[in-house]
Amino acid sequence: MLRCAEIPGILLIGAGHALHALAAFVHSVVDQDLRLQRPDHVVHVHTSGTTGKALHLWISKECWEREYAFRQLHRSWGGIDIGDRIATIAGHPVVPMDRTSPPFWRENWAENQLIFSSQHITPENLKYYAEKLNQFQPELLHGYPSSLYLIALYLNSEGIYTIKPKVVFTHSESLLYYQRELLENVFSCKVYNWYGNTEMVANIVECEAGNLHVKLEHSIIEIIRSDGQPARPGEIGELICTGFGNYATPLIRYRVGDTVIPSDSVCPCGRSGPLIEKIIQCPPAMWFQTFMGNINLDVSLHDLDDGLVFFGSS
């Protein structure tokens, strides 16, 4: 085991091409300084633990600010400026879980944002979501693909096409072909996909040409096959990430748990950085507790290619 001389406390496993992925985070001396001497400059967060045990770590204030800057840079690709109206439909616990009547949303006045609860999307409540979105008329519609898709399904079934954002941005889940198609049809705008994570060690973003760009100024990502070798274009590989921004908990060659397929194409948008053909965030089988009951979502790589999903109620 080698110790990085420049930054005491950070551990590297192995050396050169024999480096092994770091399976858990490591604390540095900087970490101790931030947590003990500047406790107001760090925030404790944890991952979902979808692919294993949840990881608890500290995020510095500067890292949050940096992530916001990268987020706004990507949104600007879709014509969104700071201060534009934003509607977010994701996993934020903005209202009590036992609430049965609206509002199912809260205002974030600082960012001109309306934050909707994804946990309260039911057949009975969808009309309230539609009414509020129509009243608010967001310029950016942003959230989980699954949540946005349910809203779009309702709007399409009711013939409501009056909600006209400039763009739709999705995150946190794999964006499937049929979801993108419906969202673009219902909202009459382009859908941009964004990939990041709680640990803030990767940033892969879609441009207006529809290609996924690795933001090398954000972090280093390696794409490693199951045999430990770098994935070639068209091959599936696991993301191994090293973040640049968080000195509170540095993560070096960290296994995120997601897989991607690299591409050797050149994007016509002219932006630099390697391209990714596909991001595969969901494991082969996932169970969801929804208003439709227990749903088994079995998604294979073939399904992702064709935009097909097979559902089976339990």
97: closest CA among 313, 287, 289, 286? 289
Handedness of CA 26, 28, 30, 34 (dihedral sign): positive
pLDDT at position 34:
54
Assess if residue 150 is contained within a domain.
Answer: yes
Assess if residue 12 is contained within a domain.
Answer: no
pLDDT at position 143:
95
Residues 313, 196 within the same domain: no
Cβ neighbours of residue 176 closer than 8 Å, sequence gap 6 or more: 145, 299, 304, 307, 309
pLDDT at position 37:
56
Say how many domains are in the chain: 2
Cα-based distances in Å from 293 to 128, 134, 153, 289, 290: 22, 29, 18, 6, 5
Using only C-alpha atoms, the chain has a radius of gyration, in whole angstroms, of: 20
Residues 277, 305 within the same domain: no
Assess if residue 179 is contained within a domain.
Answer: yes
pLDDT at position 265:
95
pLDDT in tens, the chain (314 residues): 333 333 333 333 333 333 444 434 444 444 455 555 566 778 888 775 444 567 788 898 999 999 999 999 999 999 999 999 999 999 888 999 999 999 999 999 999 999 999 999 999 999 999 999 999 999 999 999 999 999 999 999 999 999 999 999 999 888 999 999 999 999 999 999 999 988 999 999 999 999 999 999 999 999 999 999 999 999 999 999 999 888 888 889 998 889 999 999 999 999 988 999 999 864 433 334 344 444 334 443 334 444 333 333 22
Residues 223, 289 within the same domain: no
Assess if residue 135 is contained within a domain.
Answer: yes
Residues 136, 269 within the same domain: yes
Residues 201, 309 within the same domain: no
Q: What is the DSSP letter of 238?
A: E
Residues 98, 72 within the same domain: yes
Domain assignment of residue 303, given as a range: 285-314
Assess if residue 101 is contained within a domain.
Answer: yes
Residues 99, 241 within the same domain: yes
Residues 171, 31 within the same domain: yes
For the chain, where are the alpha helices, taking DSSP H only? 29-37, 61-77, 126-136, 145-158, 177-187, 301-306
Residues 164, 292 within the same domain: no
Assess if residue 60 is contained within a domain.
Answer: yes
Residues 279, 291 within the same domain: no
Residues 280, 305 within the same domain: no
* Dist. CA 294–CA 249, nearest whole Å: 37
Assess if residue 10 is contained within a domain.
Answer: no
Q: What is the DSSP letter of 87?
A: E
pLDDT at position 35:
57
pLDDT at position 169:
97
CATH number, domain of 66, equals: 3.40.50.12780
Residues 59, 92 within the same domain: yes
